[in-house]
A = this chain, B = another copy of it.
Amino acid sequence: MDNQLLSFTEENYLKIIYLLTERHNGNEVSTNQLAEHTQTKAASVSDMLRKLAEKNYINYRKYQGVTLTEAGEQIALGVIRKHRLWEVFLVEKLGFGWDEIHDIAEQLEHIDSKELTKRLDDFLENPKFDPHGDPIPDAKGKMPSVSYQKLSEIALNQSVVMMGVSVHSPAFLQHLDKQQINLGCGLKVLEISDFDKSYSILLDGKTTIFVSNEVAKNLLVSIDE
């Protein structure tokens, strides 16, 4: 208990606002989007937004949407940092699969102790990315900028490295496991089917696999050089 300024619930709203804003390239987040992601109703979201705006954690324009203030962003990044560090712990130390860790990390991210976070970070050897390839904000509250591309936007025969996923559902992650698509593996798009836009991909320069367009859109890669 270092400084429980905000409730579990308030922290969650700020985290979700951060992640949705990021996904929308900095554009305002709507009430309905928040309702969907917080598993509540729009009316409840409106109430909470009024409260968070009063406390100066968000910029709230009625009917228009919200963005985080600097104070709100710092809270959000702190929560996201803890979430991602704990995910590394669960996979690297406890041997969980990357598809099993989200719900547990959703709980652990609210544990309040600066010292714990610091020691956990050191124990994990200061990881820069979580098991899904997402960057881990640093202790100062700065999110590293990463620029990955969707596999679906890469030119044919361009060698790339698998760096992350833009969907974290267990079903999607298990699907990747079955196809042996892991972080760090080499990928090269050989062909895109005219029929269903599915992809033929050379995996690690060895085997050819086939993935749907839906999968290709959610694989984040960087050019291999």
A96 at the interface (CB under 8 A from B): yes
A169 to chain B, nearest CB (A): 16
Say whether A123 faces chain B, with CB atoms less than 8 Å apart.
yes
A116 to B101, CA, bound (A): 9
What's the Cα separation between A120 and B103 when bound, in Å?
A: 16
Contact B93 A123 (CB under 8 A): yes
- Nearest-CB residue, chain B, relative to A4: B107
Determine whether A100 belongs to the interface, using a CB cutoff of 8 Å to chain B: yes
A47 is an interface residue with CB less than 8 A from chain B = no
Residues in B with CB closer than 8 Å to A100 are 115
Taking CB atoms, residues of chain B closer than 8 Å to A115 are 96, 100
Residues of A at under 8 Å CB distance from B? 1, 90, 93-96, 100, 103-104, 107-108, 111-113, 115-116, 119-120, 123
Is B119 in contact with A113, judged by CB distance below 8 angstroms?
A: no
Complex Cα spacing A194 to B206, Å: 84
A148 to chain B, nearest CB (A): 30
A111 and B108 in contact, given A95-B119, A119-B95, A119-B96 (Cβ under 8 angstroms): yes
B120 near A94 (CB under 8 angstroms)?
Answer: yes
CA distance A1 to B106 in the complex (A): 10
A107 cross-chain contacts in B, Cβ below 8 A:
1, 111-113
Give min CB distance, A120 to chain B, whole Å: 7
- With both beta carbons as reference points, the residue of chain B lying nearest to A1 in the complex is identified as B103
Residue of B nearest to A106 (CB): B1
Measured CB to CB, the closest approach of chain B to A26, in angstroms, equals: 32
